[in-house]
Chains A and B, each alone.
Chain A
Amino acid sequence: MVLGMSETLTILGLESSCDDTAAAIVRKSTGTAPEILSSVVHGQNDLHAAFGGVVPEIAARAHAEKLDISVEEALAESGIKLSEIDAIAVTAGPGLIGGVLSGVMCAKGLAAGLGIPLVGVNHLAGHALTPRLTDQVAYPYLMLLVSGGHCQFLIARGPDEFTRLGGTIDDAPGEAFDKTARLLGLPQPGGPSVETVARSGDPKRFAFPRPLMDRPGCDLSFSGLKTALLRARDAIIAEKGGLTEQDRADLCASFQEAVVDVLRKKTERALKEYLALSPDNPVLAVAGGVAANSAIRAGLETVCAKYQTQFTAPPLKLCTDNAAMIAYAGLERFQAGHQDDMHLAARPRWPLDKRAPAMLGSGKKGAKA
């Protein structure tokens, strides 16, 4: 079953590769923009606040239970009946194996029971294709995927065709924000709390390192930044016995400025590589929770303006983990003629660009296995 000249596809997407469990229904008719009919996310954010940390959902069983509820809610919210679904799209990796497995099993059951196609989706492709779901961005576009667990520059050329220009060789920026918050006694998740405190701080007080800035290419490193922050914090404590509110604000502001500087510089390099392809309407899209940081956003917008490139960031609820992006990525793969059978396997590791050399920092050597 492939979409003809004027047909409508309705896809049910499932996502359970990380901490959240989600289901969504996306519909697309030929020649029109895709429509999100429903998008349900059973997260743990309320729980997180209570525990003062991000509590992962490890139990496959818990994901499985929440998947059933999510699917029911997604159907009810959209007013769509199961019999109207044309295909099931599911995150088949990368992620925590228990969660991914639950999603794949649930999707296989639904596809087999309904006698409809099954499409496995790479979780990262879901994020990377979101600008097409929200803004119908045309290929090829430059994508910065920046979240708690990921940071990479990709050129998206098609639903299955990504070129990785570079990425973090150690921590992701979201992780750096979380760890900064941990070191300074600020609440989790660290992104919003560090950003808030940074507003009243002096970004020039501490000269934190900008790792890999002097090295060519688009790879990034954020691990050393957290060590530098720790040293600066301990130096203040050793000197005056504790941190004042102002010290903490200055540490946050200086940290954030270093992250912005690195992202801005590397984005500029990635843009130059992308613009060499001479795209008709150049676009930089940013997805991932870190895109919510207004200092980072402003920094990226400045770079885009300099290179006459359109800047776009999907709304935050579609930047963080959700199933609408999985339904949409599944829809594009399905339209391109891709289907999976009951052998679809959960893959804890699944690089988007299989040809890209690994990110080791000190010289890229050898092919990716």
Chain B
Amino acid sequence: MSHAPLNITLNSPDQTAALAQTLAPKLGAGDVILLTGDIGAGKTHFARSLIQARLGYAEDVPSPTFTLVQTYETGDTNLWHADLYRLTSPDEVVELGLTEAFEDAICLVEWPDRLAELAPKSALSMTLKMTETPGERQLSLSWTDDKWSARLRDLSFD
């Protein structure tokens, strides 16, 4: 079943972080979030905030642009933070082990267009867009898997 996209205006980087922190404890193995947006839209900022919230202790969360994937142990679930910008074919996604991670880890994936047909159907899609106002972002969430509906119900900012 397809759901109407949920649109949220995030007034500041802090509000983006707050949303990530709210979502963080609701995630579990097999949850995939696809992060779409231009350079500077705040994809890594969102991912970093979510990872730090899940870890519960201070840890470096470097940009994955060069390493492609950074993995973290959060509780009993591994978390993969991937930046697929540099990939040229979906074969490389398999080679990275990402398709396996989709099954048993929490995955935050930047530049998910590189996944093509490998993008999991159960994923939550998030699109971040810059607006005219500095620091503000327009966030659009869409999903088809019902599991996200309840988790996203109380995510709203006024």
Contacts and interface: CB of A to CB of B under 8 A. Distances in A.
Interface stretch (B22-30, B65-73, B117-125, B143-151): B65-73
Secondary structure type dominating chain B contacts: loop
Nearest to B48: A170
A175 B65 contact: yes
Given A56-B86, A179-B39, A230-B40, A149 B62 contact: yes
B71 to A, nearest CB: 6
A175 B63 contact: yes
B104 interface: no
Secondary structure type dominating chain A contacts: loop
B65 A171 contact: yes
Interface in B120-140: 130, 134
A227 B133 CA distance: 12
Given A59-B95, A179-B39, A230-B40, A96 B58 contact: no
B52 to A, nearest CB: 7
A182 B69 CA distance: 20
Nearest to B69: A96
Contacts of B58: 357-358, 360, 364-368
Interface string B55-93: 101111011011111110000000000000011100010
Interface in B12-64: 38-40, 44-45, 48, 52, 55, 57-60, 62-63
Q: Among the interface residues B60, B68, B87, which one has the most CB atoms of the partner chain A within 10 A?
A: B60
Interface string A158-189: 00000000011011101100110011000000
A227 B67 contact: no
Q: Among the interface residues A60, A148, A360, which one has the most CB atoms of the partner chain B within 10 A?
A: A360
Contacts of B68: 56, 58, 96
Interface in B87-113: 87-88, 92, 95-97
Contacts of B45: 170, 223
A369 B62 CA distance: 15
A226 B40 contact: yes
B66 A53 contact: no
A168 B48 CA distance: 13
A359 interface: yes
B57 to A, nearest CB: 5
Contacts of A203: none
A360 B52 contact: yes
Nearest to B71: A348
Contacts of B44: 170-171, 223
A123 B67 CA distance: 13
Given A53-B86, A56-B86, A359 B60 contact: yes
Contacts of A307: none
Contacts of B70: 348-349
B35 to A, nearest CB: 15
Given A56-B86, A230-B40, A348-B71, A369 B59 contact: yes
A103 interface: no
Contacts of A223: 44-45, 63
A172 B88 contact: no
Contacts of B87: 56, 58
A5 to B, nearest CB: 42
Given A56-B68, A182-B39, A348-B71, 9 more contacts: A58-B96, A94-B67, A96-B67, A97-B97, A149-B66, A172-B66, A174-B66, A231-B130, A369-B59
Interface of A: 18, 51, 53-56, 58-60, 94-98, 148-149, 167-168, 170-172, 174-175, 178-179, 182-183, 223, 226-227, 229-231, 348-349, 351, 357-360, 364-369
Task: Enumerate the 4 nearest inter-chain pairs by beta-carbon distance, A residue then B residue, closest first.
Answer: A149-B66, A227-B40, A358-B58, A366-B58
23 contacts: A18-B67, A58-B87, A58-B95, A59-B95, A97-B69, A149-B62, A167-B60, A170-B44, A170-B62, A171-B65, A172-B62, A172-B66, A175-B65, A179-B40, A183-B40, A223-B45, A226-B39, A230-B130, A348-B71, A358-B58, A364-B58, A367-B57, A369-B55
